[in-house]
Structure 1
């Protein structure tokens, strides 16, 4: 299966943002600090995932 770097970064950003958002809404409201944490989690995941190259497929895989 070939996954482009863009979709890999989008998937990781969605996962990180969802995890941060679930934690933030545990008390029923999202504070500005929690919103910043959600945004930073998404951007951090995008940046880190974008920089890590996809593995080169081996023969016969």
Structure 2
């Protein structure tokens, strides 16, 4: 199964944002700084995963 780079980056953004959000709301309050941290985690994950190319499959010789 081949997953496009866009799907991978979206999924990584969801994972990074979820991890940051879970950590941020441990005290049941979401501050502006925590919201910025969640946003930066999502955008950073999207950019990094989208920019890194997939490993090429090895060809039999």
Normalising by structure 2, we get a TM-score of: 0.91
Give the match for residue 57 of structure 2. 57
Pairing 1:28-43 to 2, within 5 Å after superposition? 28-43=28-43
Q: Distance in 2 between matches of 1:58 and 1:30?
A: 47
CA distance in 2, matches of 1:57, 1:5: 15
Deviation at 1:59, TM superposition (A): 4.0
Deviations along 1:6-61, one digit per CA (max 9) or x if unpaired, are: 0010010000000000000000010000000000000000000011101222347x
Tell me, yes or no, if structure 1 residue 7 matches structure 2 residue 7: yes
CA–CA distance in 1 between the matches of 2:13 and 2:6?
11
Unaligned runs of 5+ in 1: none
Unaligned runs of 5+ in 2: none
Aligned residues: 60
